[in-house]
């Protein structure tokens, strides 16, 4: 199999056994609790938030067992997965505990990947790589974070990035105290996977019973959109051009609101002259997972990335290939099918969405399925994958 044909999942989660144990030991959310049905059967349920709808969600081996992850990958033809801890990560712990647990979980994840199988068609590739954790929790002393980043980058060869939420050390990601964190992440080349947890907008969901739909379908992408917008407005992307940020769920609403964002900035005296470029330019600096479940959505994200260069201050360079910044993902083990199916509908939808983008060439589609990820995470070394945009981001 050509490397270009590998299917690579960059959005796939795990609650490592050590982490699941912590959740089981807790008496409030986030927690895993065991319920017993009237007939005496036990059922584990995960409560991520205190006001979790539907009494949480059922969880089982697919949340922590590596064999289940590999079975899922095999069933869907996924060659390589970049596995990340699922929310809420370490946010609920005091810094010292978060620091210790982050180190332990990163070592666990390194082992999870390193002792796993290799890709059959090319034994140079493992099937599992990971995003590590930082003790980036409320109250974390920001000056301690660069050391944690360095340790992660230096000691764990299969960990190629970090997954982070949106609260930073308690004041959000635009907290000026986090400058050393961004500098160290840019320096190491670790990919920052920005992922929602708390949702934004819960006070507007109303009182009707809508299950998890509003927090998941809207609150999650609103949160990601808000966080990356605040990073842009704070100049973080201007000051750290080497920072590599991957946005969950195709960037949420950022692409569709990006021209409105640019217009609002241009019409606000407070923002006058603050940013180096038009807001739309920054979309060309970001990466987007392809977890949007529709071809038109993916096509549009690639358009928003492709036009970005035209919005450089001082003007108009040519378009780039927007799809080169988009990466297949599944969100496994979330969105399981409601009934028995051979393949998960959520996965099939994301694959069909990629296949269905009429404006993408076969080469671009192959890039979104896997090649772009191999390049972003440095698995191709300095090898150029495709013309034009090849090699960009391959720093490791």
Among 249, 320, 332, 375, binds its own copies (CB under 8 A): 249
CB nearer to its own copies: give 196 or 371: 196
Q: Decide if residue 1 touches its own copies (CB under 8 A).
A: no
Among 144, 300, 312, 392, binds its own copies (CB under 8 A): 300
Q: Decide if residue 280 touches its own copies (CB under 8 A).
A: yes
Q: Rounded CA gap, 385 and 393, in Å?
A: 12
Q: Decide if 300 contacts 356 (C-beta within 8 A).
A: no
x-or-dash string of contact with its own copies, 50-89, rule CB under 8 A = ---xx-----------------------------------
Among 84, 106, 188, 229, binds its own copies (CB under 8 A): 229
What ranges in the chain are assigned the alpha helix state H? 17-24, 66-76, 95-114, 145-155, 179-188, 213, 220-233, 236-239, 254-266, 295-306, 345-355, 362-366, 372-376
Q: Rounded CA gap, 236 and 280, in Å?
A: 15
Q: Supply the minimum distance, in Å, between the C-beta of residue 264 and its own copies.
A: 4
Q: Provide the b/e sequence for 348-367 (b: ≥16 CB within 10 Å).
A: ebbbebbeebeebeeebbbb
Q: Decide if residue 138 touches its own copies (CB under 8 A).
A: no
Q: Rounded CA gap, 111 and 103, in Å?
A: 12
Among 35, 71, 213, 341, binds its own copies (CB under 8 A): 213
Q: Decide if residue 260 touches its own copies (CB under 8 A).
A: yes
Three-state DSSP at 343 gives: coil
Among 262, 354, 368, 385, binds its own copies (CB under 8 A): 262
Q: Considering only CA atoms, which of 282, 267, 272, 200 is closest in space to residue 236? A: 282
Segment near its own copies (CB under 8 A), from 9-17, 148-156, 167-175, 368-376? Answer: 167-175
CB nearer to its own copies: give 152 or 347: 347
x-or-dash string of contact with its own copies, 307-346, rule CB under 8 A = x---------------------------xxxx------xx
* Site for its own copies, residues 350 to 379, rule: CB under 8 A: 353
Q: Considering only CA atoms, which of 192, 194, 170 is closest in space to residue 181? A: 192
Size of the site for its own copies (CB under 8 A): 73
Among 67, 155, 268, 355, binds its own copies (CB under 8 A): 268
Three-state DSSP at 386 gives: coil
As to burial, measured by CB atoms within 10 angstroms (0-12 exposed, 13-18 middle, 19+ buried), residue 39 is exposed
Q: Supply the minimum distance, in Å, between the C-beta of residue 294 and its own copies.
A: 3
């Amino acid at each position: 199999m050509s490397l270009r044909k590998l299917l690579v999942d960059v959005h796939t989660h795990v609650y490592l056994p050590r982490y699941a144990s912590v959740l089981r030991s807790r008496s409030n959310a986030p927690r895993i609790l065991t319920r017993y049905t009237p007939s005496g059967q036990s059922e584990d349920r995960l409560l991520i938030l205190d006001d979790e709808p539907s009494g949480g969600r059922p969880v089982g081996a697919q949340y922590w067992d590596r064999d289940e992850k590999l079975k899922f990958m095999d069933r869907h033809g996924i060659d390589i997965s970049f596995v990340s801890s699922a929310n809420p990560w370490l946010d609920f712990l005091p810094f010292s505990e978060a620091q210790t647990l982050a180190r332990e979980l990163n070592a666990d994840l390194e082992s999870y990947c390193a002792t796993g199988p290799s890709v059959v068609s090319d034994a140079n590739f493992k099937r599992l790589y990971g995003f590590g954790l930082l003790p980036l929790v409320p109250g974390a002393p920001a000056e301690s974070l660069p050391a944690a980043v360095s340790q992660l980058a230096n000691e764990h060869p299969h960990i190629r990035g970090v997954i982070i939420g949106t609260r930073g050390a308690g004041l959000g990601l635009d907290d000026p105290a986090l400058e050393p964190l961004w500098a160290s992440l840019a320096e190491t080349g670790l990919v920052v996977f920005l992922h929602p947890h708390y949702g934004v907008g819960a006070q507007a969901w109303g009182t009707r019973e809508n299950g998890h739909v509003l927090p998941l379908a809207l609150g999650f992408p609103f949160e990601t959109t808000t966080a990356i917008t605040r990073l842009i407005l704070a100049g973080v992307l201007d000051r750290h051009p080497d920072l590599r940020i991957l946005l969950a769920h195709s960037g949420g609403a950022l692409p569709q609101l990006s021209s409105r964002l640019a217009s609002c900035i241009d019409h606000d005296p407070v923002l006058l002259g603050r940013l180096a470029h038009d807001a739309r330019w920054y979309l060309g600096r970001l990466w987007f997972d392809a977890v949007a479940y529709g071809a038109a959505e993916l096509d549009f994200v690639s358009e928003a990335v492709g036009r970005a260069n035209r919005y450089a201050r001082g003007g108009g360079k040519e378009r780039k290939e927007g799809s080169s910044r988009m990466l297949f993902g599944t969100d496994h083990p979330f969105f399981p099918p409601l009934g028995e199916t051979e393949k998960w509908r959520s996965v099939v939808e994301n694959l069909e969405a990629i296949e269905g983008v009429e404006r993408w060439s076969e080469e671009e589609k192959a890039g979104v399925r896997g090649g772009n990820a191999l390049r972003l995470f440095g698995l191709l070394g300095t090898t150029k994958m495709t013309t034009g945009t090849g090699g960009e981001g391959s720093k490791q």
